[in-house]
A and B are shown apart, each in its own frame.
Chain A
């Protein structure tokens, strides 16, 4: 009994963790690229990256279903390795990551665009490679935005429902994440189980907000009046 109604928590945690890791790297790479890209296709690419945010989640879910389904291009690709994505645990990760991506991308891009090019130029004249500049100058200076982006992405994947339901379905113990479990618990009249999951979500959400506030207090160079000599 205990196991079964806490199962959605473990599924959600694994899903959210994996989805956040994926969106973190993909979102940062896309954001960094677009922040300094000024080609003709800029607004088009930008639009594609933000699309999951403006479309209804079920529509995105349907799109993913077509993409990863038996006859979809990616579904066909995975079937070569005897793997089916649809209605499996990885499907929860994919839908959560896709839905969280625009938030990660937009917030991080805003942060990178705020970084004065002269910081990067200074590093260039000091002989640093572009890779080193990104990790030691651009990313640390844009860190507040990147952290905010990660927290938004984390929260968005934790709350993901529509696309997940379309692509991963509701398989208890396998693809039923917390939001999906809450919905089906209430449908089935298990109000008490739903409430426990609701409490858990509240705790996780407040803990991440608290973590963010604590981190902000601790950053030495974001506090101005720290003169101590």
Chain B
């Protein structure tokens, strides 16, 4: 269990966050300069917040009210730096052994070779960091960080220095890391797909604040505000007002779509008729069809951008409203109908995939 609450003011930037994790992987997601790395540094004790409270299992690491501020040396927090910060003058083995030098020699030897094996780098023990690829360096950095058996592992943008092939393989390995590292893992990323794949919870940061911290599927399904929606790739955001609430289904009048939209939700608490809301839907959840019906709106294809596996289509809805509103749709190429530019059809927004964002 890790409880964190922090406040730090810098010229032009304020960090004020609070969250807790319990034996799970938390992804800290946000644009650069939103205070993600600073949060990790505060937890590790590398920088001191103005105010704060950090408790790791039963140990209070920081309590500005009670004047407790443990040194990084005694916090039992593992840290993997963005550039890995492997000691360039030490071999891989000596790097990994650095944090366990207080153990008897035999034990160190056994532990280091165990870690080398778990990280699949047994053949690299005698190399120096500069003789390793960045993927190998990351494995060494992970092994070095978990050798002293920290109670929480902090990873600062662990995959940003890797090319995409290596990255995918190492992402999988981070998931298997859980098999032998039993503790909290916090990692910073600006890549939603990466966060979603690896974490169970996501904390969305925006300029020094947490705008949402929840289980990953809930962050995606019901972003708590427009910022979260924007940061998590909900590209279609439209304003509307609620016309009707019946059980778990809500009708929203969306002028930009020229009609009402039916949305089904897990719970409708906090919503009332005539309330102004924002509705959001991810481009990959929208279908196109030739038939009118509920939640289907007539539109014209303006622009098609061809990707490797998807077509990114920009439709404008055929309404009187100006300026025209665009709906962005991602269609998997394999199953996509033929959509030439200028094509007239209907965009269908499945009721279960539309998020209603309270304003």
Tell me how far the C-beta of A143 lies from the nearest C-beta in chain B, rounded to whole angstroms: 7
**Is B46 part of the contact surface with A, judged by Cβ < 8 Å?**
yes
Chain A at the B interface: mostly helix, strand, loop or mixed? helix
Taking the closest CB of chain A, its distance from the CB of B129, in whole angstroms, is: 8
Task: Assess the B131–A119 pair: CB atoms within 8 A.
Answer: no
**Are B131 and A125 neighbours in the complex by a CB distance under 8 Å?**
no
Interchain CB contact under 8 A, A123 and B123: no
A118 touching B83 in the complex, CB below 8 Å, given contacts A140-B89, A221-B88: yes
Known pairs A118-B81, A122-B81; A141 contacts B128 (CB<8 A): no
Cross-chain contact A224 with B130 (CB below 8 angstroms) = yes
Proximity bits, B69-88, A CB within 8 Å = 1, else 0: 00111110111010101011
* Residue of A whose beta carbon sits closest to that of B80: A122
Q: Does B148 contact A (CB under 8 A)?
A: yes
Check B72–A125 contact: CB distance below 8 A.
yes
A124 touches B46 (CB 8 A): yes
The reply to whether B46 and A125 contact each other, CB–CB distance below 8 Å, is: yes
CB of B112 closer than 8 Å to a CB of A: no
Question: How many of B's residues come within 8 Å of A, CB to CB?
Answer: 30
Is A38 in the interface zone, CB < 8 Å from B? no
Render A184-204 as a binary contact track against B, CB cut-off 8 A, 1 for contact.
000000000000000000000
When distances are taken between beta carbons in the complex, the residues of chain A under 8 Å from B98 are 123, 126, 128, 136
A140 and B89 alpha carbons, distance in the complex (Å): 7
A53 CA to B162 CA in the complex, in Å?
Answer: 47
User: What residue of chain B has the Cβ atom nearest to residue A225's Cβ?
Assistant: B131
Give complex CA distance A229, B123 in Å: 9
Does chain B have a CB within 8 A of A220?
A: yes
B148 partner residues in chain A, CB cutoff 8 A: 126-127
| Most chain A CB atoms below 10 A, which of B44, B45, B88, B89 | B89
| B144 contacts the other chain (CB 8 A) | yes
Do residues A125 and B44 form an inter-chain contact, with CB atoms below 8 A? yes
With A128-B98, A229-B123 known as contacts, the answer to whether A122 contacts B88 (CB < 8 A) is: no
Which residues from chain A contact B131 at a C-beta distance below 8 Å? 224, 226-227
Q: How far is the CB of A133 from chain B (nearest CB, A)?
A: 9
Task: Considering the complex, give the chain B residue whose CB is closest to the CB of A119.
Answer: B85
Residues of A whose CB lies within 8 Å of any CB of B are 116, 118-119, 121-129, 136-137, 140-141, 143, 220-221, 224, 226-227, 229
Query: 4 tightest CB-CB pairs across the interface, nearest first?
Result: A126-B99, A118-B85, A124-B72, A125-B79
